[in-house]
Structure 1
Amino acid sequence: MAVTSSRAKKQPTSVWLTERPPVKRKADQPAGLDLDKIVAATVRLLDAEGLAKFSMRRLAAELGVTAMSVYWYVDTKDDLLELAMDAVAGELDLPDESGEQADWRDQLRHLAFEYRKLLLAHTWLPKLLGEYLNFGPRSMAFSNATLRVMARSGLSKESTSGALAAVYQFVYGFCSIQGQHRARCRAEGTTLDEYFHRVVEAVQGHPRFAETMELSGDGRYAREGMSAEQMLDDDFAFALELQIAGIEAMRERQRAAAERADGDGNGSGNGDSNGDGNGGGTD
């Protein structure tokens, strides 16, 4: 029998769906402490030390207060992590809502690159996405911006969620792996270029991997003196163009199907009308 955690059995919730009364500072509470400062310190710690080392005690020490002082402002560590997720979403540069005349492709590219920049700046973030509902105002502003852009792509409404999933799941997956590379390099005290050089040198001369290196084009990193970051940037940009081209192709397919359906309907109606008219005239 599968064992399900108590948390998984609970009704999905979010700090953004729970009304919490305003905090009234007691006389023995630290002066100058507020929720914004707590969330900002949380983000700093997560960026510097990672998700695995984060704890309420560590956060309290960073703030110079007791852990109980932090709990005056949040009920749980989960709530604080969700607040941190929304705080960093505020770094995203969103298109102007009034820019309806802008090319949706350019805006989608911009949003995808912004999302990538966010995930790479905060490598703990991909691990939390999906674990929390993430209904914060900044996160929802990003979601709404992507929906507005996609609404102008010409795809049917039924296809919008699938198209956005294709783009942003790609960004998520790409950045999750790149973020792991960065985390490993940081732990080893090396650079991404040094790490990639070691990998290439380890497999380049091995007969088992010769065909793979040649077919995949990864050998270009060593042959052309390309930096690891440049290679990843190029791969990301090209893969994103494939996503956008796929959306355009699907839009044209949907339009063609709609035109055929309209044509079949008109043809059927005309045939019935002509047949009845001709039959009446002949009689």
Structure 2
Amino acid sequence: MVKAADRAKNPTRSSVWLETRTPRGGGGPAGLDRDRIVVAAIRMLDEEGLAKLSMRKLAAELNVTAMSLYWYVDTKDDIIEYAVDTVYGEIDLAAVDAAGGWRDRIRVLALDYRRMLVRHPWMSPSAGQYLNIGPHAIAVGSKIQEAIRDTGLPMDRQPSAMSAVFQFVYGYGTIESQFERRAAQAGMSQDDFYGESIKAFRDEPSFAEALEPLGDLLDERASHGSVTEIWDRDFDYALDVLVAGIETMVSRETSARETRETRETREVGETRGRQT
């Protein structure tokens, strides 16, 4: 068993994917396996969040003793890491491959990643807390890297472009998922929660001066139907802006390279001319 204290001594290797677990002797409880544990954990995380997940509650959900879980995992952190990688597996990589060019592949990856974050509000903080090095996470990362590579950006620019797109998606999906959860906790639809929240501070006199420059923006957003439609509209347009930005930078890099090559060719010619 891997102890928390041992992980604290070597945080760079603190991952279930980097640790060698000594198998327990004998057989585990009948009908229980790691996959079943992880599926139940994901269901609990979706319903109750990270703070309320415990080995005791998970065992009760599975109708086994808490000690039974330790046949398959060493800690609650192990379960969360397995859960993180499992939901990465929800991103449809076959659809990414079928999309064709890098622009469409980026869009499919971005949309699927956003949807996954919204389905699982616990995923955003978990992805930031644990190493994302399970097989599904690596497969998704590879597809992202392939799409960015095919933009034609030089290698030293590719990580920046990857960050621009997918850190945007991470942030967007995080905010969207937390807003949806907050509305649900209030027992309201997103539309009602948004409408009443906006009305509350727009009607508050102490906010009047601060909100005056934002009035047109708030009115515009309110004119576009449901909150879901607003989420989708803003996401699609922002992603188009990022893709267009990559296209612009590719063109700029290509022009700069051609200029360098032309200058170098001219300098070589001038040098040869002086030598003759």
| TM norm. shorter chain > 0.5 | yes
CA gap 1:225/1:247 in 2 versus in 1, 3 angstroms: closer
| Match status 1:202 vs 2:203 | no
* 1:179 positional shift: 1.4
Matches within 5 A, 1:254-265: 254-265=253-264
CA gap 1:243/1:6 in 2 versus in 1, 3 angstroms: farther
What one-letter code is carried by the residue in structure 2 that aligns with 1:117? R
Matches within 5 A, 1:122-133: 122-133=120-131
What one-letter code is carried by the residue in structure 2 that aligns with 1:262? E
Q: Would you tell me which structure has more helix in proportion to its own residues?
A: 2
Aligned-partner Cα distance in 1 for 2:245–2:174? 23
* 1:89 positional shift: 1.0
What one-letter code is carried by the residue in structure 2 that aligns with 1:121? R
Aligned-partner Cα distance in 2 for 1:155–1:95? 24
* 1:219 positional shift: 1.4
TM-score when scaled to structure 2?
0.90
What one-letter code is carried by the residue in structure 2 that aligns with 1:34? D
* 1:45 positional shift: 0.4
Secondary structure of residue in 2 paired with 1:52: helix
2:191 matched residue in structure 1: 193
Considering only aligned residues, what root-mean-square deviation do their CA atoms show, in Å? Answer: 2.0
Aligned-partner Cα distance in 1 for 2:139–2:6? 32
1:232 matched residue in structure 2: 231
From 131, 135, 138, the counterpart of 2:136: 138
Matches within 5 A, 1:38-49: 38-49=37-48
Aligned-partner Cα distance in 1 for 2:97–2:193? 45
Aligned residue-pair number = 267
What one-letter code is carried by the residue in structure 1 that aligns with 2:120? H
What one-letter code is carried by the residue in structure 2 that aligns with 1:153? T
Gapped regions of structure 2 (runs ≥ 5)? none
TM-score when scaled to structure 1?
0.88
Is residue 104–residue 149 contact of structure 1 (8 Å, CA) maintained in 2?
yes
Is residue 221–residue 227 contact of structure 1 (8 Å, CA) maintained in 2?
no
Q: Deviations over 1:93-119 (max 9, x none)?
A: 1146866x9211011001000000000
1:19 matched residue in structure 2: 20
Q: Deviations over 1:14-45 (max 9, x none)?
A: 1111222445544xx53100001001100000
Matches within 5 A, 1:1-283: 10-13=10-13, 14-26=15-27, 29-95=28-94, 102-205=100-203, 207-208=208-209, 209-214=211-216, 217-222=217-222, 224=223, 226-277=225-276
* 1:195 positional shift: 0.9
Is residue 92–residue 114 contact of structure 1 (8 Å, CA) maintained in 2?
yes
What one-letter code is carried by the residue in structure 2 that aligns with 1:12? T
Is residue 200–residue 219 contact of structure 1 (8 Å, CA) maintained in 2?
no
Calculate percent identity across the aligned residue pairs. Answer: 39
Secondary structure of residue in 2 paired with 1:157: coil
Aligned-partner Cα distance in 2 for 1:178–1:187? 14
Aligned-partner Cα distance in 1 for 2:189–2:97? 42
Aligned-partner Cα distance in 2 for 1:210–1:98? 47
Gapped regions of structure 1 (runs ≥ 5)? 278-283
Aligned-partner Cα distance in 2 for 1:119–1:162? 22
What one-letter code is carried by the residue in structure 2 that aligns with 1:147? Q
